[in-house]
Structure 1
């Protein structure tokens, strides 16, 4: 940190000025600042002609491809909003900051953006969000968390989109029992990556297994592990009848490809972060098109819905050289959730941070036309417990198609979720 030296004659004046500035800043954050010419209360990031929002993303780290798609899709949404006249008569200006999935860079990005923005339509990663959670809870803007661990729940300012990893897995195990022949007494495997993603996913498989009379064979891996051969061998030796993969996409390709070569012919379920359509062009592609399913709480880009077709057409028009993946859907939806919250806050004539969060939390059945609905009223719970069962399809937009429509199993509906 820089050191400042004050001359004795100006110390008192300087400290008084700093105190006054701090009080004014706190008052603006607490009370939403001034009121605009149109009678709408302003908060940070809001002027009479602009609403500034921020995206804290990963463009250079392990989730860079996803971060790129999410950010670009958010920009597509706000471009559409601005072309239609903006929100509350104001242009929406998105500011994108790369944190490379690094905690120190995340803190720096948040510190820089926080005074400038009315909301954060994108914040990738539970670990990175945790690094500034106290600040977000104290005075931070409405933040859309692109993370599905229960650790992100419990703060009115932080909104998960979709459901937790555990709930997705519970719905997936229920699917295996009801439709893939798994029965009481069987063993199911679970390969999971260390950290919140893997830990919460495993909690889901263990809960479902206990309720359904199954047993779980665990294999924990590191995010840097590339070859899943030993995990395949362990599952084959244990005699599992199905396997759940809560790992990175390339690890999924390795496991499914090695399993096929080893003659391990069992159903495989991938958690929502375990698949990327680019994998279909790899040697593992044929195996991924087999008895492999993806658990996801939102509909795929290939869904036969007008809203989905609009996203696809708009994204392809703006970024014709880039492929379509799940990040496009995630980025557009999170941006639209923020956009609709800003519109509702405008109706209430309160674009302060408290006003935006209150408007957001008043929505019990948000429906963007994407084939699912979210309840934003309880910050301690995910907005849905519903899961789509998807299949890889090389001819489908985004590489995925619906195999089984969104549903909440009885097990998932009763699963206790502890926030924070």
Structure 2
């Protein structure tokens, strides 16, 4: 995820101001750092009261990532509905409180400030710059588990903010490895990288720079803003530079423009995007044929249309719950985050500590989590992404969710040897 430099500055200023200024037994209303203890011996604290565990969702339903935010949020609401129908966690029902920040820094920080005192944690916080804006509060005083819908490597290193899957830099290394292994890119070649300014793009381009140094490539960089929707100038510059492939770390709209403009100009090179750079709705646009021919996406998990029992069940359940909405990989991302948070809650219950601290520590004990989407996640080291594997996908309108697998989950040798942020 990303934002403009002005938005980052606003988020940082807001953060600075904020810094200054037996398991089935029900616990008593908990509060405070120490928490309280139920008759069953389970300690509880903020966000746990009566028969309810309250969790917060900070998402984008009306801004730049509205499509993704809707899919992620609806998947989490469906997960919680099913979980509660099966008895909840530790005898508690889960309650999600959703706030739409519209990808606006002021709204995002204000929404976090509103919900934080009343929830145990956040199974969704969409937007790495907004998570970064309140990071000092999360680590210093709030200490509630946050699972961001964001993959910037700058979010690593916290026991309370935990990235699910490979970070953008690792994902980009795997993407370029795919270009070299499968698309003929070799030592001495130039590759282009079109990327958003801000945390998302800056994290991804770190991966390109690292891979270029390791593999003897040259990266021709093109930095853009989220408001830049026409990629004509970028395509012209990269074509003139003689690049043999392009990486794009931007949104679906920019990816469609890049691929469409390149195809129209006869610039026939493979293009690969990070996981945020595609939406299946694009396949119904004029760019659809070009996307299916020459575009690829690196993903932290198998797609919604994967041939697994878990994926098939999720497709059926989601269609039944939201028959008017399309399926995309945001559904997988939301479902996975909800499942990870639930696993941490259950582990915390088993250890009789449903405080914020207890849930955070419980997540550290999960070292092989896989909910049926092909990638095992290890949360034992806060300094590392939970996985270094990426799946390479290709758009295909004939497939559920619009994406087919062209390379199974894999961590390239370069990714395995790479330390994010080093």
Normalised to the residue count of structure 1, the TM-score between the two structures is 0.91
1:258 to 256, 261, 271: 261
Question: Post-superposition shift, 1:397?
Answer: 1.3
Q: Does 1:226 align with 2:229?
A: yes
Give the equivalent residue in structure 1 for 2:5: none
Alignment of 1:38-187 (within 5 A): 38-138=40-140, 139-187=142-190
1:345 to 341, 348, 357: 348
Give the equivalent residue in structure 2 for 1:355: 358
Mapped partners of 2:51, 2:341: distance in 1:
18
Mapped partners of 1:62, 1:84: distance in 2:
35
Give the equivalent residue in structure 2 for 1:23: none
Mapped partners of 1:39, 1:414: distance in 2:
44
Question: Post-superposition shift, 1:28?
Answer: 3.8
Mapped partners of 1:215, 1:372: distance in 2:
31
Mapped partners of 2:167, 2:129: distance in 1:
15
Kindly indicate whether the alpha-carbon contact (under 8 Å) linking 2:308 and 2:372 is maintained by their aligned counterparts in 1: yes
Question: Post-superposition shift, 1:245?
Answer: 0.9
Mapped partners of 1:341, 1:400: distance in 2:
30
Question: Post-superposition shift, 1:48?
Answer: 4.2
SS of 2:37's equivalent in the other structure is: coil
Question: 409-418 or 352-361: which moved more?
Answer: 409-418
Mapped partners of 1:290, 1:70: distance in 2:
28
Aligned length: 392
Question: Post-superposition shift, 1:140?
Answer: 2.9
Q: Does 1:202 align with 2:220?
A: no
Question: Post-superposition shift, 1:386?
Answer: 0.5
Give the equivalent residue in structure 1 for 2:15: none
Normalised to the residue count of structure 2, the TM-score between the two structures is 0.91
Structure 1 unaligned segments of length 5 or more: list them.
Answer: 1-26
Structure 2 unaligned segments of length 5 or more: list them.
Answer: 1-29
The Cα RMSD (Å) is 1.3
Q: Does 1:370 align with 2:362?
A: no
Mapped partners of 1:54, 1:267: distance in 2:
40
1:385 to 385, 388, 396: 388
Give the equivalent residue in structure 1 for 2:20: none
Q: How far does the alpha carbon of each residue in 1:247-272 deviate from its partner, in whole angstroms, 9 at most, with x for none?
A: 11111101101101100011111111
Q: How far does the alpha carbon of each residue in 1:317-347 deviate from its partner, in whole angstroms, 9 at most, with x for none?
A: 1111111112111111001100111011111
Q: How far does the alpha carbon of each residue in 1:196-225 deviate from its partner, in whole angstroms, 9 at most, with x for none?
A: 111111111111111111111111111101
Q: How far does the alpha carbon of each residue in 1:110-153 deviate from its partner, in whole angstroms, 9 at most, with x for none?
A: 11111111121000011111121111112231110111111211
Q: How far does the alpha carbon of each residue in 1:137-179 deviate from its partner, in whole angstroms, 9 at most, with x for none?
A: 1223111011111121111011111111111111111111111
